[in-house]
């Protein structure tokens, strides 16, 4: 399969990620990227660890108390970011569980890949007023997952210090929606366009830290 490659290499961490996306990613359509071999099904722990380091580098000027993500694909990058930042990580749960007996903070999220609405929930024991939260997720498409996680933070008066995304599909409107609200969004790889057999990255300034 021939792939046209258009990119401008960024930091070393992002280089590894972009290389992996180009080598193993599959554009299933003009809007869906499959990266099951290293992010969404099988996970590459070395690459995940590099992502954690890169999130730490980008948010090193912020005080962060906790990383918040959503099950299941946010957990890998989320826990690596939390490890590097030396803070706990919480993942919002999508499925009810008999062990989830605490008072829950909830939000409704429409899933881009499953095409269904889910109630996501976090125990009020683990997040609260004054907490400074870094939200992490694997993909940013229309921003529904990130907005749901922000809603949970707002419900308990926690502060969202930023959002870290592994792969932002810049041709969808999630990034604009979140940035319009004044939230800092840092994406390790930004995709400009997908078509069958072709993945095009947004060109980025070398070493750029802020958007």
- The count of chain residues that interact with ligand 5GP, using the rule CB under 6 A, is 18
Per-residue tokens: 9: 């290499």
What phi-psi label fits residue 57: left (phi over 0), alpha (psi between -120 and 50 degrees) or beta? alpha
Nearest-angstrom CA–CA distance, 126 and 88: 9
Under the binding rule (CB under 6 A), the answer on residue 77 touching ligand 5GP is: no
Q: Near ligand 5GP by CB under 6 A, which window of 93-101, 123-131, 140-148, 181-189? A: 140-148
Under the binding rule (CB under 6 A), the answer on residue 78 touching ligand 5GP is: no
Under the binding rule (CB under 6 A), the answer on residue 135 touching ligand 5GP is: no
Q: Contacting ligand 5GP (CB under 6 A), which of 16, 20, 26, 32?
A: 32
Gyration radius from the chain CA atoms = 16
| Strand ranges inside 58-206, DSSP E | 66-70, 89-92, 104-110, 117-123, 132-140, 159-169, 185-195, 198-201
Under the binding rule (CB under 6 A), the answer on residue 140 touching ligand 5GP is: yes
Q: Contacting ligand 5GP (CB under 6 A), which of 44, 54, 138, 186?
A: 138
Binding site for ligand 5GP (CB under 6 A): 32-35, 40, 73, 112-113, 137-145, 174
């Amino acid at each position: 399969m021939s792939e046209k490659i258009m990119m401008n290499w960024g930091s070393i961490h992002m280089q590894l990620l972009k290389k992996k996306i180009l080598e193993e990613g599959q554009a299933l359509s003009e809007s869906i990227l499959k990266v099951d071999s290293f992010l969404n099904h099988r996970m590459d722990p070395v690459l995940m660890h590099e992502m954690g380091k890169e999130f730490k580098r980008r948010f090193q000027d912020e005080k962060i108390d906790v990383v918040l993500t959503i099950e299941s694909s946010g957990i890998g990058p989320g826990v690596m970011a939390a490890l590097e930042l030396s803070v706990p990580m919480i993942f919002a749960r999508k499925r009810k569980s008999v062990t989830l007996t605490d008072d829950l903070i909830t939000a409704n999220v429409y899933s881009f890949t499953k095409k269904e609405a889910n109630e996501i929930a976090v125990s009020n024991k683990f997040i609260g007023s004054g907490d400074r939260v870094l939200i992490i997720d694997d993909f940013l498409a229309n921003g529904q997952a990130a907005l749901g996680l922000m809603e949970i933070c707002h419900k308990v008066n926690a502060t969202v210090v930023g959002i870290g995304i592994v792969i932002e599909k810049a041709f969808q409107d999630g990034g604009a929606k979140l940035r319009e609200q004044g939230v800092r969004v840092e994406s390790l790889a930004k995709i400009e366009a997908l078509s069958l057999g072709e993945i095009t990255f947004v060109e980025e300034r070398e070493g750029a830290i802020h958007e």
